[in-house]
Structures are given as C-alpha cells and as structure tokens.
Amino acid sequence: MASENSDWSDDGRYVAPTVAQSVKILVVGAFGVGKTTLIGSVSEIAPLRTEETMTLASVGVDSLTGLDDKATTTVAMDFGRITVSPDVVLYLFGTPGQRRFWDLWEGLAEGAVGALVLIDTRRIEDSFEVFDQLETRTGMPFAVAVNDFPGAPRYGADQLREALDLLPDTPIVHCDARNKESSAQALIKLVEHALHFPASEKALT
Ligand SMILES: Nc1nc2c(ncn2[C@@H]2O[C@H](COP(=O)(O)OP(=O)(O)O)[C@@H](O)[C@H]2O)c(=O)[nH]1
Ligand SMILES: [Mg+2]
C-alpha cells in the first residue's frame, strides 16, 4: 500500500514505484582514485564491497604514493544504487583499474551505458591504461571526474583533455568523491553524455 512512509523511501531497500528505467554505469579508475568512496557516498543502499586488507604481497604492485591511510584495495568490485530522478535509477559497478583485473571488465561492461573515469591529478599517468582499456576494448562513452584531493595539482579542462588525449565532447567534471551531491552530479553528467553519444560511435566497439 502506498503511503508517505512507503518501504522504498524509508530505507532505500526498494526501488521507487515510479522508476521506469534502470541504467548500468561503470565507475572505473586507477588504484586509489576514490571509486569505493564515490559509490559509498552516493549509494542509497548499503554498498556491496569486496575489499581485502592489503597484504605485503601487493605492496609494490599497487602504488601507495600519497595514500598513507589506504589500507584496503578492492579485489573484485563495488556495487551501489542511486535514484537520480523519479523514473531513473543508476546501478553502479566499481571496477578495479589494475591491468590484472581487465578480464573482469568484459562481463561488467556488458549492458553498461557508460563509464565514469575517476582520476587523481597527482598520478595522471596511472590512468592511462584505464583509458586505453575503455577505448580499445569497450568503446563505451565515458566522462572524466577529477577527484580533487587536497594538494593535488589543479589543471584546466584544456590541459587535461590534451594530457589524456580526450575527444572534444568528452565531459570533464570535478568532484569530491566523499560528497554525495558532488558525486551524483558527476554521474548525472556522464548519463547525459551517454544518452547523446552517437549510435555510430557505439557501433565502433
Ligand atoms: N581527501 C580526499 N580523500 C579521498 C577522496 N576520495 C577518496 N579519498 C581517500 O582516498 C583513499 C582511496 O580511496 P578509495 O575509494 O579506496 O579508492 P579506490 O581504490 O579507487 O576504490 C581512501 O583512503 C579515501 O578515504 C577525496 O575526494 N578527497
Ligand atoms: Mg576501491
């Protein structure tokens, strides 16, 4: 029975009855750029995380520079959900950027309308393989979200576009992955872009 305090609005367990469209989104990026943080801050359901305490074995494989308090690394993926308008719900799949997880992308990319690529300007080069993977293996539309870490160099959109070799229409937004509103805006930018992405480009995959 519909009431002001219906189950879905109370605790976020259920999708609102007005939701007509489910959109699958990937949240990708190099190690430590804030994927788990972003999904955790926007998700209206308790995010599903598959993180394990980093062992000595991964030290040296996953660069920890600038991430002194990061003690976990995502071994498989994060999952979350956000209702962005009365009729649209986004399902978020956070995917590890490290090359050794690329096979995971194959299945996760299926049916996804686009990807939000998080970057940390202190370590832009760590993102190159993620862009490479997106462009050569999935071909899906993406938007770039610069997660503004304190003390990270601030670059203009033109500088980033050049450094990352992005197409002129690829959106670049700034966000604070810890902030729900800011993270939601980045996701909305991606969805808007993905919906306008020409079908001919999608077919190039
Ligand atoms: N200052 C700041 N720290 C952040 C931000 N986003 C993430 N972090 C921290 O950076 C570290 C890496 O974030 P995490 O979400 O685990 O990265 P992931 O490997 O991409 O999932 C964690 O310690 C976060 O608390 C941010 O926007 N600002
Ligand atoms: Mg993570």
Domain boundaries along the sequence of the chain? 18-202
Name the CA dihedral angle for 134, 196, 143, 72, rounded to a multiple of 10 degrees: -70
pLDDT at 203: 43
CA of 28 to the centre of ligand 1 (A): 13
Rounded Cα–Cα distance for residues 73 and 116 (Å): 19
Q: Is 120 in the pocket of ligand 1 (CB under 6 A)?
A: no
Mutate to test the pocket of ligand 1, among 37, 49, 65, 69 (most ligand atoms within 8 A of CB): 37
Rounded Cα–Cα distance for residues 78 and 94 (Å): 5
**pLDDT in tens for each of the 205 residues of the chain?**
444 444 444 455 577 788 878 999 999 999 899 999 999 999 998 877 765 555 545 555 555 556 656 656 555 678 999 998 888 999 999 988 777 777 778 788 899 999 999 999 999 999 998 999 898 888 899 999 999 999 999 999 999 999 999 999 999 999 999 999 999 999 999 999 998 877 545 544 4
CA of 2 to the centre of ligand 1 (A): 39
Contacts of 131 (CB under 8 A, 6+ apart): 117, 164, 165
Measured between alpha carbons, how far is residue 7 from residues 16, 90, 126, 157, 196 in Å? 9, 19, 42, 42, 34
Rounded Cα–Cα distance for residues 179 and 99 (Å): 28
- Ligand with minimal distance to 33 CA: 1
CA of 147 to the centre of ligand 1 (A): 9
pLDDT at 9: 47
pLDDT at 96: 80
pLDDT at 138: 84
pLDDT at 53: 54
Rounded Cα–Cα distance for residues 26 and 115 (Å): 4
Whole-prediction pTM value? 0.82
Q: Is 133 in the pocket of ligand 1 (CB under 6 A)?
A: no
Name the CA dihedral angle for 53, 11, 41, 78, rounded to a multiple of 10 degrees: 40
CA of 71 to the centre of ligand 2 (A): 11
CATH superfamily of 18-202: P-loop containing nucleotide triphosphate hydrolases (3.40.50.300)
Walk across the sheet containing 88-94 and list its strands. Answer: 48-53, 72-85, 88-94, 21-29, 114-119, 142-147, 172-175
